[in-house]
Amino acid sequence: MGIEELHLQPNWVLRIVADDGRFGSFDVSPYLEYGAFNENRDPNEFLKIFNGGYFVEWECGADLSADTMEACWQVVGIDAPHMTV
């Protein structure tokens, strides 16, 4: 999965639009217990995110792969123009 769009939501949730048109939410809050994500407990630090296309990375150095997010995200729909037959 490639990450086409990334939108920050309240409570450490990422809204993701995949390159195949699927879209949904990924909850980052369970990862905040790990040392690499400690700084992201601060909402202002959480905002400092970079979309690398196949990963996301925060200024503090914490990152998540698209594969990790795809395995755990909650898909809520698909954008019809992206659908293939």
Q: Who wins on pLDDT, 5 or 79?
A: 5
Specify whether the CB–CB gap between 12 and 28 falls below 8 A.
yes
Q: What is the pLDDT of residues 14-26, one digit of tens each?
A: 999 999 999 999 9
Specify whether the CB–CB gap between 5 and 58 falls below 8 A.
no
Q: How confident is the model at residue 80 (pLDDT cuts 50, 70, 90)?
A: low
Is the pLDDT score of 84 beyond 60? Answer: no
Domain ranges of the chain: 3-80
Name the pTM for this structure. Answer: 0.86
Q: Who wins on pLDDT, 79 or 40?
A: 40
Is the pLDDT score of 83 beyond 60? Answer: no
Give the list of residues 6+ apart from residue 63 with CB closer than 8 angstroms, or none. 52, 55, 56, 57
Paired tokens of 23 = 């879209």
* pLDDT number for residue 85: 45
